[in-house]
C-alpha cells in the first residue's frame, strides 16, 4: 500500500462513473450552452462535476477542489430534472443542492484536487474523443491522476491512472489494469505526433514540417497525453495561452506521461508548474514526448515563431 493509494483509487473510481454519466448524456444528445468566454458547456459537464465534487467532498472534506464549472442560470429546474433522471438510471445518489455542490471548492489546503468534468467538449458534441480528468497535488506537487476516455480504442473505454513514483497503468475496456510505458522511438521522422483538433495554432504544423514528422493523430482532449503514455503516439505538441491554462486541463495528463517514462515540458524545455488553478509556463505551449525525442523537438522549436 503506497502512500496515496486511497486518493488514486478514488480518482479512478470517480472518473469511471463520470464516464457513465457523460455517455448517458452523449447518447441521449442533449443541448449545449455557451459560456461567457464562448467555450461550449453541456449538461453532461455539470452532471459529471456534480457527481465528482460531491464524492470528493464526502471523502476529503478538508481538501480543496479546483473544478472547471460553476453554477449559472442554465441550470434551471428542467436541467436539474434531467440530471436527476440520469443519476436515477445509473443508480447514483440523487443531488438536491445543485448550486452549493457545483460551486463547492472546500477550505484552502495544500491538498488540492483538480476536476475537469469533460475535457474536449467539442469532441463530445461531435461524438469524437473526449476525456474526464481528475488530478491530485500536495503543495503543488503532482501526486495522483486519473483520466477516463470513453471510446478510446476498439476496446471502448480506457481508464489511465498514475501515482507519483509508482508508474502509469491502464484498463482498456473492462480489463484489469496493466502498467504502460512510452515508446523507445528515436527517429522523429517515423514518429506519431498528436495535436489538437479544435485548438491548434499554425506553428504546430510548421514545427512538424521542419522536423519532418509524417504521422499525425489529431483529436480533442487530454486523451492525447494518454496516447503518448501508452505508446500510441511518440509526441504531442499543444499551444497554451498563459491566461487560459488551467490546472484541471494539464495536471492529470502530465503525471500520466511522466510516470509512463515520458517527459513533459513547456516549449522552452522548462517544467510546467502549478499554482492553484493556473499552470505556470515560460513559453506558450507544451511538449509531451517519449523522452528520447525531447531534445530534438526542443531544438526544432527554437526556430519557430510561436505568435
Ligand atoms: Mg472541461
CA distances from 101 to 57, 70, 136, 269 (A): 9, 9, 19, 38
CATH of the domain at 256: 3.40.190.80
Q: How far away, in angstroms, is 77 Cα from ligand 1 center?
A: 23
Residues 6+ apart with CB under 8 A from 118: 22, 42, 44, 45, 48, 124, 130, 131, 132
Q: How far away, in angstroms, is 303 Cα from ligand 1 center?
A: 32
Q: How far away, in angstroms, is 70 Cα from ligand 1 center?
A: 11
CB 71 within 8 A of CB 103: yes
Q: How far away, in angstroms, is 163 Cα from ligand 1 center?
A: 22
Number of domains in the chain: 2
- Could you tell me if 199 and 175 lie in one domain? no
CATH of the domain at 172: 3.30.540.10
Q: How far away, in angstroms, is 67 Cα from ligand 1 center?
A: 9
Q: How far away, in angstroms, is 198 Cα from ligand 1 center?
A: 14
Q: Pick from 164, 180, 196: which residue ends a domain?
A: 180
Q: What would the pLDDT profile of 118-129 be if each residue is shown by its tens digit? A: 999 889 999 999
* Ion ligand 1 — residues with CB < 5 Å: 68, 116, 118-119
Alpha carbon of residue 97 to chain centroid: 26
- Could you tell me if 157 and 27 lie in one domain? yes
Q: How far away, in angstroms, is 45 Cα from ligand 1 center?
A: 7
In a domain, 307, yes or no: no
Q: For residues 231-247, give the mean pLDDT.
A: 95
Q: What would the pLDDT profile of 24-35 be if each residue is shown by its tens digit? A: 999 988 777 677
Q: For residues 39-52, give the mean pLDDT.
A: 92
- Could you tell me if 175 and 196 lie in one domain? no
Q: Which domain holds residue 175?
A: 5-180
pLDDT of 36 over the 80 cut: no
Q: Pick from 159, 180, 201: which residue ends a domain?
A: 180
Q: What would the pLDDT profile of 3-22 be if each residue is shown by its tens digit? A: 899 999 999 999 999 999 99
Alpha carbon of residue 242 to chain centroid: 17
Q: Residue 107 has what DSSP assignment?
A: S
- Could you tell me if 20 and 58 lie in one domain? yes
- Could you tell me if 77 and 148 lie in one domain? yes
- Could you tell me if 174 and 197 lie in one domain? no
Q: Pick from 162, 180, 198: which residue ends a domain?
A: 180
Q: For residues 248-276, give the mean pLDDT.
A: 97
- Could you tell me if 11 and 146 lie in one domain? yes
Q: How far away, in angstroms, is 112 Cα from ligand 1 center?
A: 17
Query: How many CB atoms sit inside 10 A of residue 43's CB?
Result: 24
- Could you tell me if 42 and 60 lie in one domain? yes
- Could you tell me if 209 and 134 lie in one domain? no
CA distances from 255 to 29, 84, 150, 238 (A): 32, 33, 20, 16
Amino acid at each position: 500500500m503506497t502512500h496515496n493509494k486511497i486518493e488514486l483509487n478514488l480518482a479512478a473510481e470517480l472518473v469511471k462513473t463520470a464516464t457513465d454519466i457523460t455517455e448517458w448524456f452523449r447518447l441521449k444528445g442533449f443541448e449545449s450552452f455557451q459560456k461567457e468566454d464562448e467555450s461550449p458547456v453541456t449538461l453532461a459537464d455539470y452532471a459529471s462535476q456534480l457527481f465528482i465534487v460531491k464524492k470528493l467532498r464526502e471523502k476529503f472534506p478538508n481538501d480543496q477542489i479546483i473544478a472547471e464549472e460553476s453554477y449559472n442560470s442554465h441550470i434551471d429546474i428542467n436541467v436539474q430534472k434531467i440530471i436527476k433522471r440520469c443519476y436515477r438510471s445509473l443508480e447514483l445518489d440523487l443531488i438536491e443542492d445543485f448550486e452549493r455542490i457545483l460551486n463547492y471548492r472546500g477550505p484552502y489546503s495544500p491538498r488540492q484536487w483538480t476536476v475537469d468534468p469533460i475535457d474536449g467538449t467539442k469532441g463530445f458534441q461531435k461524438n469524437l474523443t473526449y476525456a474526464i480528468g481528475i488530478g491530485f497535488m500536495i503543495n503543488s506537487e503532482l501526486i495522483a491522476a486519473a483520466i477516463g476516455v470513453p471510446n478510446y480504442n476498439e476496446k471502448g473505454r480506457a481508464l489511465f491512472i498514475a501515482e507519483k513514483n509508482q508508474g502509469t497503468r491502464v484498463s482498456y475496456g473492462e480489463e484489469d489494469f496493466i502498467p504502460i510505458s512510452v515508446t523507445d522511438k528515436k527517429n522523429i521522422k517515423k514518429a506519431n505526433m498528436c495535436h489538437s483538433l479544435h485548438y491548434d495554432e499554425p506553428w504546430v504544423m510548421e514545427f512538424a514540417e521542419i522536423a519532418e514528422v509524417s504521422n499525425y493523430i489529431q483529436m480533442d482532449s487530454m486523451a492525447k497525453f494518454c496516447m503518448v503514455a501508452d505508446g500510441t503516439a511518440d509526441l504531442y505538441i499543444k499551444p497554451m495561452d498563459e491566461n487560459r491554462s488551467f490546472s484541471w486541463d494539464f495536471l492529470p495528463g502530465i503525471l500520466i506521461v511522466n510516470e509512463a517514462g515520458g517527459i513533459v515540458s513547456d516549449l522552452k524545455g522548462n517544467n510546467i508548474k502549478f499554482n492553484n488553478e493556473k499552470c505556470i509556463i515560460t513559453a506558450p505551449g507544451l511538449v509531451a514526448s517519449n523522452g528520447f525525442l525531447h531534445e530534438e523537438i526542443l531544438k526544432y522549436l527554437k526556430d519557430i515563431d510561436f505568435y
